[in-house]
Amino acid sequence: MSASSSHRPDRDALAREDAKDRQLAQFRAAPEHDALTTDQGVRVDDTDNALRAGERGPTLLEDFHNREKLTHFDHERIPERVVHARGSGAYGYFEPYASLAEYTCADFLAEAGRRTPVFVRFSTVQGPRGSADTVRDVRGFATKFYTRQGNYDLVGNNMPVFFIQDAIKFPDFVHAVKMEPQHEMPTGASAHDTFWDFCSLQPETTHMLMWLMSDRAIPRSFRMMQGFGVHTFRFVTADGRGTFVKFHWKPVLGVHSLVWDEAQITAGRDPDFNRRDLWESIEAGEYPEWELGVQLVPEEDEFSFDFDLLDATKIIPEEQVPVRPVGRMVLNRNPQNFFAETEQVAFHTANVVPGIDFTNDPLLQGRNFSYLDTQLIRLGGPNFSQLPVNRPVADVHHNHRDGYGQQVIHPGTNYFPNSLGGGCPAHAGAGGGAGVFRHYAQRVEGEKIRVRSESFQDHYSQAALFWNSMADWERRHIVEAFRFELGKVASAAVRERMTGNLANVNAELAAKVAEGLGLPAPGTVADVPTAASPALSMENLAGEGIRTRKVAVLAADGTDAGQIGAVRGRLAAEGAIVEVLAAKEGTVAAGGDRVDVDRALPTTASVLHDAVLVPDGAEAVSVLAADPAAVRFVEEAYRHGKPVAALGEGTRLLTAARLPEEVVFGSSAPDYGVFTANGSTSVTDLADAFAEALARHRFPHRPGLLT
Ligand code: HDD
């Protein structure tokens, strides 16, 4: 987002308003003018040459600076997260629209407009820390709210369901999806035997597989994906009344995805594609924003659904329980040190505050054990809550002591009850109890048994609901994704079993996947559900506007500068980013003028842009049409369904790029998102139509698409 660095926000001003940032400031160390020292603060005047015996002699052990420097370096790495290792985060705030006191005593939801600082980390699940961003995978969407009553973590994903119902299956699932143990392949992909073997034998994965095979698994941007708390949680009021709640994050920019061919190319062209997008948008002052919504279900309605609210492989269809918008979250500050903040942030589903409680969802119950446990190994001991990014802004008083990395000097007593320390810290309830966490008083009885409830046994109805709700192009992409993934599976038995399972979702889906794999269509299954939920289709979630969409303008000497100016003016006014690309950096000649080149073609690619425009200019277009990089740029943009426009002679580049003639010259070109203008069409009209197309994002009905 090079164009917008001029309106970079005043970070210090933002920080002053934010309790968490004020706290973080105490831990920042920026030695701008100070001399180099050892860890002990002793000044060093040479960090380039080790202490040695004679000019060409051996290095001496007594060189404490050399030893300290190498030792510290040797210990720089910590274990990566066992899942969600690859991620990126940012700070911001959450503010409610209105008080939710009717349902919850959570302080951060009590007052309209009162801001609570947050840190959000987005992630992929399967790949290691250095893997590419645009792989087919679930995206983590974890939010830490630094509330006045302590930290609340909403550790969700960009899909509203999960692969398994009981946390005891998590190690099996993760072993199956991760790189295979013998050769550690594939990186950042589920397209391999062990994953599909597991899924084909564990039909509760089916609903989540539908989401994973959909375009939701390849988001255009973290800023353009939904987030979900997944589980049914519980809101609790001050007087102990409970309400079931599901959390939804909805992006203001709409929900948008890549296409699979594009995602694969992007993984090479810019493996940091999503991470860079998040960072750059915040630096440019284009703050990512989501609306928080809740689905509320009164306790007495717990059994009024044809699925179990405690089953994390199920959604509550929005048509049944509408999502009620309750607040908004804005991310407005990048971290200043990736390791200190984004790597060391420690989320935990059991980090709840008064007013928010768990349900008996067996997946959630297991998570409540696993997250604390994982931080102990990952962050090296029990004091990770003292790391700056993890510290609550609420006061902390307890009798926990010692351990690796203890940062706090605790004078006085370390037990309860005590009289020698004045009885402190005392039970919070003694003073009236405001803001005390009290577990929801749920009545529980039962025998100790290892069973899966009968109410968890329907694994296909909602997978079918998802399929039934998709637009035709979304279905096409799902079929292609299954064909790709299962096509990479070597075991014929696994492929067959999996396509067989799909017959329980939809006969056409199963038949088409089977056909792509060269298998006979599986037998049909009776009574496959036909219900649909329009809220699930991305077609209905596009949002409005073109903010931060990246438009490439291809130029060479002789390009029409006036057209570039007009189009740039029109699109930039709505927040789009227009970049002029040419074979080399510098400028291109345009009449008597020169136009600045933003990027040289070899350093970028169509997959890093949302649309492409070719201005008029016979000489320029001849140069571009002879440049394979420019030709590929246009062809790829077209085949990935992106808006393409050409003015005057620019149309020649579209033909050089093998765009179907019936599209370029046909009357329905605009329906396919292709715009050409000659003398009779004004640049302004074309720019208007192009902007509208950009807001639609993709044209999935175009002939000749690569998906
Ligand atoms: Fe998990 C990380 C989301 C099930 C165990 N999980 C992790 C992160 C996210 C999720 C977003 C990354 C947090 C960060 O950015 O640091 N996980 C989910 C969702 C689930 C889910 C939405 C289902 C609804 N997870 C789940 C289960 C278990 C775990 C059932 C274990 C029983 N998850 C972990 C973990 C991780 C983790 C091993 C790895 C790193 C970490 O926790 O901090 O404990």
**Which atom of ligand 1 is found nearest the CA of 375?**
43
Neighbouring residues of 377: CB distance < 8 A, sequence distance ≥ 6: 79
Does pLDDT of 143 surpass 90? yes
- Asked whether residue 446 is domain-assigned, the answer is no
Residue 114's φ and ψ, nearest 5 degrees, are -80, 125
Is 558 found in the same domain as 510? no
Q: Is residue 308 part of a domain?
A: yes
Q: What is the CATH number of the domain that holds 151?
A: 2.40.180.10
Task: State which of 80, 83, 228 you would mutate to test the pocket of ligand 1, scoring each by most atoms of that ligand within 8 A of its C-beta.
Answer: 83
**Residue 394: what residue type?**
A
Domain at 488, CATH number: 1.20.1370.20
Contact 248, 293 (CB under 8 A): yes
Is the predicted pLDDT of residue 360 greater than 70, yes or no?
yes
CA of 374 to the centre of ligand 1 (A): 10
User: What is the pLDDT confidence band of residue 12, given thresholds at 50, 70 and 90?
Assistant: low
Three-state SS annotation for 354-408: CCEECCCCHHHHHHHHHHHHHHHHHCCCCCHHHCHHHCCCCCCCCCCCCCCCCCC
| Domain's final residue, options 390, 424, 450 | 390
Instruction: Average the pLDDT over 667-684 and give the result.
Output: 86
Full residue range of the structural domain in which residue 581 is found: 550-696
pLDDT at residue 58 in the model: 97
Q: For residues 529 and 517, what is the distance between their CA atoms, to the nearest angstrom? A: 25
151-181, pLDDT tens digit by residue?
999 999 999 999 999 999 999 999 999 999 9
Q: What is the pLDDT of residue 155?
A: 98
- CB 425 within 8 Å of CB 416: yes
CB 577 within 8 A of CB 567: no
Tens-place pLDDT, residues 285-310: 999 999 999 999 999 999 999 999 99
Between CA 324 and CA 318 the distance in angstroms is 10
613 CA distance to ligand 1 middle (Å):
42
**120 is a domain residue:** yes
83 alpha carbon – ligand 1 mean position (Å): 7
Q: Where residue 625 sits, what CATH number does that domain have?
A: 3.40.50.880
Asked whether the CA dihedral 220, 223, 224, 228 is positive or negative, the reply is positive
Of the three residues 506, 540, 574, the one that is the final residue of a domain is 540
Q: From ligand 1's centre to the CA of 371, what distance in Å? A: 7
**CB of 363 shorter than 6 A to ligand 1:** yes
Looking at residue 9, its pLDDT comes to 56
Whether 84 is in the pocket of ligand 1, judged by its Cβ within 6 Å, is: yes
661, amino acid identity: E
Average pLDDT over residues 342-369: 98
In a shared domain, residues 249 and 228: yes
In the annotation, is 192 catalytic?
Answer: no
> Which of 553, 555, 568, 559 has the alpha carbon at shortest distance from 593?
559
What's 101-141 look like in SS3? Answer: CCCCCCHHHCCCCCCEEEEEEEEECCCCCCCCCCCCCCEEE
Is the per-residue pLDDT at 2 higher than 50? no
Where does residue 422 rank: exposed (0-12), middle (13-18), buried (19+ CB within 10 A)?
exposed
Asked if residue 327 and residue 189 are part of one domain, the reply reads yes
Name the domain boundary from 540, 562, 579: 540
Tell me if residue 78 falls in helix, strand or coil: coil
For ligand 1, say whether the CB of 125 is within 6 Å of any of its atoms. no
Average pLDDT over residues 507-516: 98
Q: 589: how many CB neighbours lie within 10 A of its CB?
A: 17
283 and 316 in a single domain? The answer is yes
pLDDT at 326: 98
Given a cut of 80, whether residue 4 has pLDDT beyond it is no
In a domain, 377, yes or no: yes
262 SS3 class:
helix
Measured CA angle at 495 (ends 489, 499), to 5 deg? 140
What pLDDT, on a 0 to 100 scale, did the predictor assign at position 10?
A: 66
Which one of 371, 373, 375, 379 would you pick to mutate in the ligand 1 pocket, going by the greatest count of ligand atoms within 8 A of its CB? 371
pLDDT of residue 3: 38
Among 10-19, 262-271, 522-531, whose mean pLDDT is lowest?
Answer: 10-19
Position in ligand 1 atom list of the atom nearest CA 89: 15
49 is catalytic: no
pLDDT of 16 strictly over 80? no
pLDDT at 283: 97
- Ligand 1 binding pocket includes 353 (Cβ within 6 Å): no
Residue 543 and residue 603 in contact, taking contact as beta carbons nearer than 8 Å:
no
Give the count of domains, the chain: 3
pLDDT of residue 707: 86
Among candidate residues 65, 151, 157, 158, the one labeled active-site is: 157
Average pLDDT over residues 413-436: 86
**Sign of the C-alpha dihedral computed for residues 293, 299, 303 and 307 taken in this order:** positive
| 189 belongs to a structural domain | yes
Q: How far is the CA of 687 from the centre of ligand 1 (A)?
A: 45
Residues 581 and 620 in one domain: yes
* pTM score, whole prediction: 0.96
Quick one: 516 and 628 in the same domain? no
Task: Tell whether 456 is covered by a domain.
Answer: no
Any idea which residue has 């990126």 for tokens? 88
pLDDT of residue 433: 63
Residue 144: predicted pLDDT = 99
**DSSP letter string over 636-696?**
HHHHTT--EEEEGGGHHHHHHTT--HHHHSSTTGGGGTEEEE-TTS-HHHHHHHHHHHHHH
610 CA distance to ligand 1 centroid (A)?
Answer: 32
Greater pLDDT, 677 or 363: 363
DSSP conformation class of 3: G
**Residue with CA closest to ligand 1 atom 25:** 367
Q: What is the pLDDT of residue 573?
A: 96
Q: Are residues 163 and 303 in the same domain?
A: yes
Q: Cβ distance 86 to 128 under 8 Å?
A: yes
Q: What is the pLDDT of residues 65-96, one digit of tens each?
A: 999 999 999 999 999 999 999 999 999 999 99
Closest C-alpha to ligand 1, atom 9:
140
Distance 208 CA to ligand 1 centre (A): 16
> Does 611 score more than 90 pLDDT?
yes
Residue range 375-388: mean pLDDT, rounded: 97
Asked whether residue 118 falls in the same domain as residue 146, the answer is yes
Task: Tell me the residue ranges of DSSP E strands in 491-548.
Answer: none
Residue 329's closest CA among 293, 289, 275? Answer: 289
Would you tell me the crossing angle of helices 193-201 and 492-502 to the nearest 10 degrees? 40
How many CB atoms are located within 10 Å of the residue 439 CB? 11
Whether residue 198 is contained in a domain is answered as no
Q: Tell me how far the alpha carbon of residue 36 is from its chain's centroid.
A: 39
Burial label, 75 (beta-carbon count in 10 A; 0-12, 13-18, 19+):
exposed
For residue 87, which atom of ligand 1 is closest to its CA? 15
Query: Please, what is the end-to-end C-alpha distance for the chain in angstroms?
Result: 27
Percent of the residues in the chain that have a pLDDT greater than 90, as a whole number: 92
Nearest Cα residue to atom 27 of ligand 1? 367
Q: pLDDT per residue over 425-450, tens digit each?
A: 998 875 556 789 999 999 999 999 99
Co-location of 376 and 506 in the same domain: no
Is the same domain home to 349 and 471?
no
Interface TM-score (ipTM) > 0.95: yes
Considering the domain architecture, whether residues 492 and 572 belong to the same structural domain is answered as no
Report pLDDT for 17. 80
Q: Residue 14's pLDDT is what?
A: 67
| Spatial distance between the Cα atoms of 279 and 287, rounded to a whole number of angstroms | 10
pLDDT for residue 535 is more than 70: yes
Confidence of residue 6 (pLDDT cuts 50, 70, 90): very low
Same domain flag for 592 and 495: no
What pLDDT is attached to residue 15? 63
Give the whole-angstrom CA distance, residue 624 versus residue 415: 76
The DSSP result for 309-338, as a single string, is: TT-TT----TTTSPPEEEEEEEEEE--S-I
Closest CA to 226 of 470, 542, 640, 546: 542
What per-residue confidence (pLDDT) applies to 146?
A: 98
Strand partners, 587: 596
Mean pLDDT of the residues in the chain: 95
Q: What is the mean pLDDT of residues 343-348?
A: 98
Tell me how far apart the alpha carbons of residues 461 and 455 are, in angstroms, rounded to a whole number: 13
Average pLDDT over every residue of 391-420: 96
Q: Which residue has the higher pLDDT, 4 or 527?
A: 527
Q: What is the number of residues in the chain?
A: 707
Binding-site residues from annotation for heme: 81, 121, 170, 367, 371, 378
pLDDT of residue 8: 53
Closest CA to 578 of 97, 1, 90, 87: 1
Mutate to test the pocket of ligand 1, among 82, 122, 141, 155 (most ligand atoms within 8 A of CB): 155
Query: 28: phi > 0 → left, psi -120 to 50 → alpha, else beta; which?
Result: beta
Q: Give residue 1's pLDDT.
A: 42
Decide whether any atom of ligand 1 lies within 6 Å of the 82 Cβ. Answer: yes
Residue 16 lies in a domain: no
Q: Which amino acid is present at 323? A: V
